[in-house]
């Protein structure tokens, strides 16, 4: 009986760990493009059959768009908005009357920033995103990040 109980506990823990894994993984980096100017790259790596949603969605979309919240840093000034680089797909479901702007495989979000002085600092914040496949959507997830600027 004790072995069965132990097996069940291990099985439920394993299923819980698996359920918490995300079909999207993120990587964050900075590359210097000019004096005191950097491109922050936030790359979403998307597993096959899953989609990540664009920051901008059509009016009839029900998907939660990807959004970035950046921590205030008086040493870092953003230059423009966060750009998306990737092959955007326009999903349309006529039966439900909805559409969505989405990405498969990977997408790169780029924010250009300029330092106000020659100092070491960081660009940090979080990204909130939702992913769906053909059968289901997962609840939104938030990932924190911090990228060193030297």
Q: Considering the entire predicted model, what is its pTM?
A: 0.85
91 falls within a domain: yes
pLDDT tens digits along 40-78: 999 999 999 999 999 999 999 999 999 999 999 999 999
Question: Does residue 84 register a pLDDT over 70?
Answer: yes
Let me know if 4 is exposed, middle or buried by CB neighbors in 10 A (0-12, 13-18, 19+).
exposed
Report the CATH number at residue 90. Answer: 2.60.40.1250
Domain housing 130: 24-149
68 falls within a domain: yes
The predicted pLDDT at position 20 comes to 53
Total domains present in the chain: 1
11 falls within a domain: no
133 falls within a domain: yes
**d(C-alpha 67, C-alpha 44), whole Å:** 13
């Amino acid at each position: 009986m004790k072995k069965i109980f132990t097996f069940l506990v291990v099985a439920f823990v394993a299923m819980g760990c698996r359920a918490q894994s995300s079909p999207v993984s993120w990587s964050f980096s900075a590359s210097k493009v000019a004096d005191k100017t950097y491109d922050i790259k936030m790359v979403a790596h998307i597993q096959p059959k899953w989609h990540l949603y664009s920051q901008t969605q059509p009016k009839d979309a029900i998907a939660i768009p990807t959004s970035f919240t950046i921590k205030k840093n008086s040493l870092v000034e953003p230059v423009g908005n966060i750009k998306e680089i990737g092959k955007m797909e326009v999903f349309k479901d006529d039966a439900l009357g909805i559409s969505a702007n989405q990405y498969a495989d990977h997408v790169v979000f780029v924010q250009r920033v300029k330092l106000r002085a020659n100092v070491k600092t960081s660009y940090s914040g979080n990204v909130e995103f939702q992913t769906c496949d053909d059968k289901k959507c997962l609840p939104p997830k938030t990932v924190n990040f911090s990228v060193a600027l030297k």
